[in-house]
Amino acid sequence: MTAVHESLMTTEQFEELARAADRIAEGVRLEFIDGKLGAKAMPDGDHGRILQWLIRIFVALRPELFLTPEQGLKVARYRKGRARPDAVLADADAFVGQGEWADPSPVLMVVGVTSDDEDTDRRDRKEKPRAYAETGIPVYLLIDRDACVLKVHSKPNDGRYELIATVPFGASAELPDPVGVVLDTGPLKDWVH
């Protein structure tokens, strides 16, 4: 018997709720993944510094690409989900003319940086890798500040990433094609909880 999963709200209702939350709820961002509404805490200063570090790396090594913070993406099966990764790597013009929730097809990599909240395990380590793999995003980079590791998810196939490389902070981390960058993760040791 196949289970049928029905969402409590439509994607359009979520988008309306997210716009309202942005106007009235300071410090919270909403996401809609796999038919479930989630709230994500606003990042702290170390979280922001990690994203600055990555942006500088990509400007130097892959200047034809932009690492765009907070770009909303349509994710998961049948485009019913909405996720706001910490950063999205794509061609410089990939999101020109698109709204808040962009088509994920030009995305080469999404980046997640764990936050100090109760949902980070479920959201960043379980739901998002599945949603990004189902969407076909080639690489999901999770910078896990709790475990002091990078998890490089790649080769999306059949709703999951076939390869997951775990690299401790301080070692070199290879971001596979189509990203094609090697990160020296030593600086990350300075920006953990």
> Is the Cβ–Cβ distance between 138 and 157 less than 8 Å?
no
Q: Could you tell me the two tokens for 169?
A: 């902070």
Residues in CB range of 22: below 8 A, 6 or more apart: 29
The fraction of the chain above a pLDDT of 70, given in percent, is 70
Dist CA 113 CA 191 (whole Å): 11
Confidence of residue 4 (pLDDT cuts 50, 70, 90): very low
CATH numeric code, 43-191: 3.90.1570.10
* The predicted structure's pLDDT at residue 126: 80
Q: Where exactly are the structural domains of the chain?
A: 43-191
Residue by residue, DSSP assigns 86-135 as SEEEEETTTTTT--SEE--TT-SEEEEE--SSTTHIIIIIIIHHHHHHHH
Q: What global pTM score does this model have?
A: 0.77
DSSP 23: H
Most confident of 29-33, 59-63, 71-75: 59-63
Q: Output the pLDDT for position 3.
A: 39
pLDDT, mean over the chain? 82
As a whole number of angstroms, the distance between CA 86 and CA 88 comes to 7
